[in-house]
Structure 1
């Protein structure tokens, strides 16, 4: 009579596509939270995700590439925010997306990575810059351009510096003052800072 296999002895679950990717990324965040960046390994992630190490290496050459992809997948992107039909609504929607990125459910993982010197912090900064801040700037510039067409915005206000004002205020508040960003605060940023600065 055969003895049932224990959990650790059972073969890896056969998953593919998005389901497998999600399991791998979840394992990355879990391992970083428990072990930190330096002790995270491809082997450990594969074991936690119950998949083969070769599966990871077929797609990611090393743990840095894997972590960057996991961060990109976890972060909401302003590039996915559709136009809201008005300048105020556009900026509020973009700032809410930015807030969601800062308050991501993987915030503890981001903090763990940023706390380690060197590569860990660099990966977070690169991923957030590419996935969140660069798209925010592009979408904000488009919102400003639409405002110019409607006669709401001064043409000379369509600049990267103006587009960066909202993120700069959120980052300062989040990291230096209060990590809880309220809707009232976002509305105040838009109504008392951004709109007066760009209107004719």
Structure 2
């Protein structure tokens, strides 16, 4: 098969997708994400989404062809960086505010990650979509926060802990749900940042940003 022939289905798919309004597409994506969070990846079916959105299965198959493609598109539609725009003037303050922002949506994000679970390992496209839509923008925003802190001289550029801050932030979001059966809410994440992340970077807690439980 020539490259031109291989590309043809995507071209056809693009022309078909253009027939749906953005609002109608979002209805499909919202239904997929809602079903994912409520019941898990295996429970999402083209038939079920068609019923929930009052359309025919053929419409979904024409647009996205497979369930993984539909789920991947829904994930990409949900892209909404929570950390972008945070700038308190200090690295400690920025990381505390990032913790608060993450905690406000941790329940939804954790449910989404848990719902996808094994499917992410099995389907490379789903994995890419999750990283692009949910994880990647947040990691980029965190790295920008860290870069500013380095530029201000708050942390040395070669500090070994800088590399691990995104892993710490995202790891604790999922780990608490697994270990304690509770979501990492804003208070918990602020305490985590002040007790673990800031000391690793050689920073003191941000003045005026302390968790209520710490006084």
TM-score (norm 1): 0.68
- Mapped to 2, the partners of 1:194 and 1:66 lie a distance apart of 37
- Mapped to 1, the partners of 2:180 and 2:77 lie a distance apart of 28
Quick one: which of 81, 84, 92 aligns to 1:81?
Answer: 84
- Cα drift, residue 27 of structure 1: 3.1
Any stretches of 5+ residues in structure 2 without a counterpart?
1-18, 204-215
- Mapped to 1, the partners of 2:41 and 2:185 lie a distance apart of 31
- 1:43 to 1:182, Cα distance in 2 relative to 1, 3 A: closer
Partner of 2:61: 57
Quick one: which of 165, 168, 173 aligns to 2:171?
Answer: 168
- 1:42 to 1:154, Cα distance in 2 relative to 1, 3 A: same
- Mapped to 1, the partners of 2:30 and 2:197 lie a distance apart of 37
- Cα drift, residue 46 of structure 1: 2.4
CA-based RMSD: 3.6
- Cα drift, residue 55 of structure 1: 3.4
- Residue correspondence of structure 1 range 14-93 to structure 2 within 5 A: 16-29=20-33, 37-38=41-42, 40-74=44-78, 76-78=80-82, 81-85=84-88, 86-93=90-97
- 1:96 to 1:73, Cα distance in 2 relative to 1, 3 A: farther
Tell me if the contact between 2:47 and 2:57 (Cα under 8 Å) persists in the aligned partners: yes
TM-score (norm 2): 0.64
- Mapped to 2, the partners of 1:173 and 1:34 lie a distance apart of 19
Tell me if the contact between 1:110 and 1:124 (Cα under 8 Å) persists in the aligned partners: no
Count of aligned pairs: 182
- 1:44 to 1:190, Cα distance in 2 relative to 1, 3 A: closer
Could you report, residue by residue, the CA deviation over 1:59-99 in whole angstroms, capped at 9, with x for unpaired residues? 31211111122234346434x62132332232233334433
Any stretches of 5+ residues in structure 1 without a counterpart?
1-14
